[in-house]
Amino acid sequence: MTMNKNSSESRREFVKAIGAGVFTVGAGALTSNAMAASANQKKLGIALVGLGNYATNQLAPALQVTENAYLAGIVTGTPAKEKIWADKYKIDPAHIYNYDNFDNIINDAAIDVVYVVLPNSMHKEFVIRAARAGKHVITEKPMGLTAAECEEMIAACHKAGVQLSVGYRLQFEDNTQQIVHAGQSLPLGPINYVRSEFSFIIGNPKQWRLKKELAGGGPIMDIGIYCIQGARMATGLEPIALRAVEYKTDHQKFSSVEETVMWQMEFPGGLYSNSTCSYNMKANELYVSYAKGNARLEPAYSYRGVGGHLGQLKLPPHQVNQQALQMDDFVVCIRQNKTSKVSGEEGLKDMKIVDAMYKSMANGGQRVVI
């Protein structure tokens, strides 16, 4: 990680304050090293499946700055988007597909990786179809609608001999990784509590995220995943049980999905976390309490500007492209035939927790063992 003068001074103050060594090993730095080692190798082609907001405003721009990958193709169900994208990104029509002829991608040597950016209910189908076409796969979160779906996706990729990754971009963000390393090296002592919250006020009531048949659920299936990941990353532990409850104030807008969900997860050793996700309030924070201090990221889950503190160590925001780091790292994993740290198995862990949350909510918030 590149440090400026003020950042370096903050680190020295932190070391002096807690009497520990500097432990600044950021995922971005690790990824940059891996990218430098493979700079002379051919870039791998990525096809984006689904050209909605995230693909349009985050992934496609990120693929203009990736060092190991490039935008090789697109898959869309909207014919009008084909020419717009072809002109903007100089995509040959031979590498443009729709959902019906998608399986022809098996014959497209320019496309090495398929990135599924479709509504949640379509993830499983297109991950499996991509795997059968011999393409490595990234899917957006949630990986599937249930843990059972995730297991099917993992099995299909294993059978096809391709790698599967989930778009957990924050595992490549440096300040987030500082919290992860603090949970491993414990410079502030053992962790005794974690709070993770991510909420926003959702707009268009007709969008797919508010339709259960497409989204699979409400904020849990969208921003709740970040809260689960935040608690798991901060502690380095897997929850063993949880309780979850739903609160709803706008029954018309949220007629088929939950509006606000609060849950508590229990971890080994008596540690616990509290989390909230909602489509009708504002929050964006990860807070960790240690025996000798605390850490806080706010915003914690944004595309840019993640920052806060770790004890007396300031964590100034880094304006890195999280999506570019994420995709570049996946290419390195493919080249080196190693499992991504955001593999399908990682997505499965989260969905087992989500399954338990829905089970608890259906039973009035009763404790559910995971």
**Any idea which residues carry the catalytic annotation?**
141, 226
Is the CB of residue 71 less than 8 Å from the CB of residue 48?
yes
Is the CB of residue 331 less than 8 Å from the CB of residue 69?
yes
CA dihedral defined by 10, 16, 18, 20, rounded to 10 degrees? 100
Strands (E), the chain: 44-49, 69-75, 96-97, 113-116, 136-139, 164-166, 191-199, 241-247, 260-266, 272-278, 283-290, 293-297, 308-310, 313-315, 368-369
Cis amide leading into 142 (omega within 30): yes
Structure tokens at 271: 């540690």
Structure tokens at 169: 């971009």
| DSSP H or E run through 349 | helix 344-362
Task: Name residue 157's beta-bridge partners.
Answer: none
Tokens 């599937």: give the residue: 144
Integer angstrom CA distances of residue 222 from 24, 200, 212, 217: 30, 11, 12, 8
Distance of alpha carbon 354 from alpha carbon 199, whole angstroms? 17
Distance of alpha carbon 242 from alpha carbon 267, whole angstroms? 9
Q: What b/e string do you get for 36-58 counting C-beta neighbours within 10 Å, with b at 16 or more? A: eebeeeebbbbbbbbbbebbbeb
Neighbours of 233 (CB within 10 A): 21
